Amino acid sequence: MPGEPSIPSVPSPRTPHPSGTCVLLKHGEVFLKGRNRHLFTERLHDNLRRALRGVGGSTWIKDGQNVTVLGGEVSQDVLVERARRVIGFNSVEPAVRVPSTVADITKTAVDALAAVRAERPGISFAVRVKRRDKSFEMTSSQFERFLGARVREALGPVPVNLSSPDVRVSVEVDHKESYVSWTRHPGPGGLPVGSSGRALVLLSGGYDSPVAAYRAMRRGLRCDFVHFTGAPFTNAASVYKAYALARELNRYQPGGRLHVIALGHAQKQLAIAGAGRLQVVAQRRLMVRAASALAGRTRAEALVTGDSLGQVASQTLANMAAVDEAATLPVLRPLVGWEKQEIIDEARSIGTAEISVLPDEDCCKLLAPPRVALRAGLTHLHSVEKRLDLDDLVNGLLRDVQIMYPGETGGEGEAEADGPDGGPTPSRPVPAACATAPSGTVSS
């Protein structure tokens, strides 16, 4: 994609003999793309290479028709674990590479099913063949029947279930090598991170915003994060949580930066200006103003929030419209139609739920009125804001912004910073103290 250079390939050994273990990565929405599909595939492979950094051995990547083959001098389990976090792959399948001969494929399929059956007696099976090499001596359906018969000859009357088998032996026949797999792990799917541009996520410590960030990544957005604290009137607990959440989310994308902005004094000024029941909405308007200005520094083209329509008083339709009016960029709300339990379930699946339940001091509760206005009027909001110098307020917030780089030193999730001219500069590793637990250490 334009704007970012391709990542150099991971050092790889010479093309190996077509035998041994590998991992098949089935493409997600990339296969729907037309003439520019190669751009999405290049982005997908760049992200895969980043995920393989620090894996502990050389690896190789082979591009096929709507499939990527991954292998190397690394444990197959490690390759599977890394690949399962790369957005853009629908499934991750440990496989065995064999020469494209009937004898080699048959032996591998029989041996694989025999090993599974030894651990799980009485299982049913089915064989599925995809023949990419049309010169192969049998059609896909013929080869399926042939392999099924050979399995039953070798192992006895193993039950066949074509609609819902306990084990599905998949065979992909290519020109020089073929792949046999019998285990399938779901991948994240979606579009490769970075293929749709960049966004800035307003990251709180709750369930919602991390899930919204993940959903934005699945639509191809590369995300940086901004976290607002109530400092100096609240402690640093929310910063620790935001750091931990950003680090977990960075396992799904090239490392995004975390910007921390102390909002406490500005919140107090809004209260003194007479915000009253509009306090929470006025604070959110100030947040999106500051985030919009910060987005210019991060090259973000949109803001992302975890708003869910009607979930809390500040997220009514009228209040969300009032917040949008203060933004200078599109405000994306991936969770706008989600129920709370759906959000919590997703948070558990992506690994952020255990962090979100930790206690902290949420800046949104600071100076919050007993009752929040459900329909904040723009006239009243503008009246409150006129009592303040908003430009000076926003400039002050950005002047003191702190920047963190959540990630693992030398491994996946390492952040890549932008230089003063907007171009990339070498990565700055996270301090060792932050690599094990979030801390107040920052880079400015």
Summarised one tens digit per residue, pLDDT across range 62-82 is 998 889 999 999 999 999 999
Q: Which pTM does this prediction carry?
A: 0.86
Residue type, 245: L
User: Which range, of 112-126, 240-254, 306-320, 418-432, averages the lowest pLDDT?
Assistant: 418-432
20: left (phi over 0), alpha (psi -120 to 50) or beta: left
Residue type, 259: H
Whether 375 contacts 271, CB under 8 Å: no
- Helices and strands: H and E segment counts in the chain: 14, 14
* Radius of gyration of the chain measured on its C-alpha atoms: 26
Q: How far is CA 338 from CA 203, 238, 249, 306, 407, in A?
A: 18, 24, 20, 10, 29
Q: pLDDT tens digits for 2-57?
A: 444 444 444 444 444 567 999 999 998 987 887 889 999 999 999 999 999 999 99
User: Which range, of 103-112, 221-230, 360-369, 430-439, averages the lowest pLDDT?
Assistant: 430-439
The structure tokens listed for 299 are: 């090259």
> Confidence class of residue 434 from pLDDT cuts 50, 70 and 90?
very low
CA–centroid distance for 429 within its chain: 20
What is the 8-class DSSP label of residue 10? P
Outline where 201-316 has alpha helix (H).
208-218, 237-249, 264-272, 279-298
**According to the model, what pLDDT value does residue 17 have?**
52
